[in-house]
């Protein structure tokens, strides 16, 4: 574009020298630019006049200058005047500095040229940076800016409030334009806007004003003394000759967080609460069960950068997606950040997941706040279609040929040790250990009769009685202690072991669930328990006969 303008000017000079000047043809071309000194925020106009003997067929003149974007104004064919013809152009400055605006009009081989000087400044010398403007037509207008607190911690929220006061609406009906400063040293987010309302005018010094407010949530990212620049309100030229209104600068003192920070500090600065919840109360062995950790409250969610680290000795935990939802809480920006995890249990039973302590910094308390560890109970059941023995079994790999023999020796040695341990548990005579006294768990019929006598009502009591009876019978059948029944069920291949494992898992879930099972669920649990005992005892129809 700049080279094109220079070529046009060079061509004009060449044609002018070749064919003569406008004076030689009895016509002159003039250009007038007003004002002759402006700022980058203003505009100028140029009037090009053709004077002299009337001639027809002259086209629109061209106006060029490297410091301006230039647009012709209607009518494009110009207006006839008493002295000749004139055209108008709008000049929008794009670069500061001294400039020359050149006009050129060509008609066939004839060329007319004219030029005018103008100066573009960034700010007019001596221009008052006013926050108030007043005229007889639109009244008084002024702007203010402040913050809700002058001293804050790093990452603590500061609310920047810009207010525009005016007595009357603009004659054009348009709203003025706002220009916020860059907020150096802060991260910023819109925090709300309150438009002017006819019913909520403010009275100041005996005059009524409309008030329009825009709020910005600022979070300092560096410590030290920071300054928020001026906010600019751009008014149309009809008001106060187009003077912009500027607010005062605002100073904010930012202090660093106390040291040392606790090791569980997440980086969060604000008023947050931490909760851990299960999405799935039950999970199959080898499959996933979801739980989430919510951190919700007022403050900058982007500072919550450290991922919580739940732990469990009963399975494996894998981190999932992180979701952030912004909201306004108690009139201040905030929201919630949700960390999702997947827990994969290794064995049937009740698994414990521990969500460790999480620490955030509370500006209100002026100290670090640490939550208590939270424990989640997840009931692990057998995977659908899998036997109890296979629920804890990992995938086997085919051993290379040279290792088969060594493996056989190891298995034989391990079998001998297991046989000796079993004999020691059962006694030297090879008998099974004595069955528990006071229980009818010595035979399937006795346990089934005891289960039939369990009265429904209190769900947790029913779960506890069913668990005690079924566990005692399984312990006597498998030859292990009652506390070792879940492990023995995983290793056993006897009939009914999967059904017994599922019944015990249901009992555990009922004991630790927030609400106990209702009467139909209690009846179904007792029926399943009798059926499982009958299968383990080799008499699957005994439960039905007991009815």
403 in a domain, yes or no?
A: no
408 in a domain, yes or no?
A: no
pLDDT in tens, 246-275: 888 999 999 999 999 998 898 889 898 888
Average the pLDDT over 207-233 and give the result.
90
Q: Smallest Cα–Cα separation from 536: which of 503, 507, 506, 508?
A: 503
Structural domains of the chain, count: 4
Q: Are residues 208 and 289 in the same domain?
A: no
Q: Are residues 102 and 47 in the same domain?
A: yes
Q: Are residues 469 and 527 in the same domain?
A: yes
Q: Are residues 458 and 538 in the same domain?
A: yes
Last residue of a domain, one of 234, 255, 276: 255
Q: Are residues 105 and 16 in the same domain?
A: yes
167 in a domain, yes or no?
A: yes
* DSSP structure class, residue 306: S
Q: Are residues 283 and 248 in the same domain?
A: no
187 in a domain, yes or no?
A: yes
Residue 337 · residue 302 · CB < 8 Å: no
406 in a domain, yes or no?
A: no
Lowest-confidence segment of 91-95, 321-325, 507-511, 512-516 by average pLDDT? 512-516
390 in a domain, yes or no?
A: no
Q: Are residues 9 and 94 in the same domain?
A: yes
Confidence bin at 130 (pLDDT 50/70/90): low
Residue 355 · residue 376 · CB < 8 Å: yes
User: For residue 87, how many C-alpha atoms fall within 13 Å in the half-sphere facing its CB?
Assistant: 22
Average the pLDDT over 382-406 and give the result.
47
Give pLDDT, residue 153: 94
Could you list the residue range(s) of the whole structural domain that residue 197 is in?
Answer: 132-255
Tokens, residue 392 = 């804890």
* DSSP structure class, residue 229: -
CA 61 to chain centre: 56
For position 58, which CATH number holds?
2.60.40.10
Last residue of a domain, one of 57, 89, 121: 121
388 in a domain, yes or no?
A: no
Residue 37 · residue 69 · CB < 8 Å: no
| Secondary structure (DSSP) of 190-219 | EEEEE---TT--EEETTEEEEEEEEEEEEE
Q: Rounded to an integer, what distance in angstroms lies between the CA atom of residue 505 and that of residue 349?
A: 6
Q: Are residues 423 and 542 in the same domain?
A: yes
Q: Are residues 21 and 64 in the same domain?
A: yes
For position 220, which CATH number holds?
2.60.40
Last residue of a domain, one of 353, 381, 409: 381
Q: Are residues 173 and 273 in the same domain?
A: no
Q: Rounded to an integer, what distance in angstroms lies between the CA atom of residue 476 and that of residue 180?
A: 79
Lowest-confidence segment of 133-142, 363-372, 414-423, 537-546 by average pLDDT? 414-423
92 in a domain, yes or no?
A: yes
Give pLDDT, residue 65: 93
Give pLDDT, residue 405: 46
Q: Are residues 195 and 282 in the same domain?
A: no
Q: Is the bond leading into 75 cis (omega within 30 degrees of zero)?
A: yes
Give pLDDT, residue 395: 36
Q: Are residues 424 and 541 in the same domain?
A: yes
Lowest-confidence segment of 69-78, 194-203, 440-449 by average pLDDT? 440-449
pLDDT at 43 over 70: yes
End-to-end CA distance of the chain: 99
Higher pLDDT, 368 or 458: 368
């Amino acid at each position: 574009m700049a080279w094109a303008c220079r070529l046009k000017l060079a061509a004009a000079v060449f044609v002018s020298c070749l064919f003569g000047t406008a004076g030689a043809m009895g016509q002159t071309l003039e250009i007038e630019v007003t004002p002759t000194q402006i700022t980058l925020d203003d505009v100028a106009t140029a009037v090009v006049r053709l004077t002299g003997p009337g001639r027809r067929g002259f086209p629109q003149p061209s106006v060029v200058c490297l410091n301006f974007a230039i647009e012709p104004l209607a009518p494009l064919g110009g207006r006839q005047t008493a002295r000749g013809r004139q055209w108008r152009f709008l000049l929008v400055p794009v670069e500061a500095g001294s400039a020359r605006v050149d006009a050129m009009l060509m008609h066939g081989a004839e060329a007319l040229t004219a030029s005018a000087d103008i100066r573009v400044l960034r700010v007019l010398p001596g221009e008052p940076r006013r926050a108030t403007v007043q005229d007889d037509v639109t009244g008084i207008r002024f702007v203010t800016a402040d913050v809700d607190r002058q001293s804050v911690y790093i990452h603590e929220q500061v609310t920047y409030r810009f207010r525009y006061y005016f007595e009357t609406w603009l004659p054009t009906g348009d709203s003025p334009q706002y220009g916020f400063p860059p907020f150096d040293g802060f991260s910023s987010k819109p925090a709300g806007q309150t438009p002017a309302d006819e019913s909520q005018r403010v009275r100041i010094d005996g005059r009524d004003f409309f008030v329009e407010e825009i709020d910005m949530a600022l979070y300092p990212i560096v410590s030290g003394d920071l300054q928020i620049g001026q906010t600019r309100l751009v008014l149309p030229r009809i008001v106060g000759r187009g003077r912009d209104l500027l607010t005062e600068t605002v100073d904010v003192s930012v202090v660093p967080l106390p040291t040392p920070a606790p090791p569980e500090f997440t980086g969060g600065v604000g008023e947050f609460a931490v909760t851990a919840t299960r999405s799935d109360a039950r999970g199959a062995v080898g499959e996933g069960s979801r739980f989430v950790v919510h951190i919700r409250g007022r403050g900058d969610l982007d500072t919550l950068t450290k991922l919580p680290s739940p732990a469990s000795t009963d399975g494996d935990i894998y981190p999932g997606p992180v979701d952030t939802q912004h909201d306004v809480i108690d009139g201040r920006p905030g929201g919630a950040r949700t960390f999702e995890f997947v827990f994969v249990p290794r064995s049937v039973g009740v698994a414990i997941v521990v969500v460790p302590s999480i620490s955030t910094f509370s500006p209100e308390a002026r100290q670090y706040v640490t939550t208590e560890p939270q424990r989640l109970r997840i009931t692990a059941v057998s995977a659908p279609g899998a036997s109890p023995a296979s629920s804890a079994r990992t995938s086997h790999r085919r051993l290379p040929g040279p290792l088969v023999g060594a493996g056989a020796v190891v298995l034989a040695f391990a079998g001998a040790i297991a046989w000796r341990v079993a004999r020691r548990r059962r006694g030297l005579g090879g008998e099974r250990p004595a069955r528990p006294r006071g229980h009818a768990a010595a035979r399937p019929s006795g346990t089934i009769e005891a289960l039939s006598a369990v009265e429904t009502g209190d769900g947790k009591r029913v779960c506890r009685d069913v668990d005690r009876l079924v566990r005692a019978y399984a312990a006597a059948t498998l030859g292990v202690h009652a506390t070792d029944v879940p492990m023995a069920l995983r290793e056993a291949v006897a009939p009914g072991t999967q059904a017994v494992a599922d019944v015990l898992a249901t009992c555990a879930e009922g004991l630790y669930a927030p609400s106990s099972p209702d009467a139909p669920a209690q009846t179904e649990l007792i029926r399943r328990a009798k059926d499982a005992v009958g299968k383990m005892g080799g008499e699957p129809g005994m439960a039905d006969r007991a009815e």
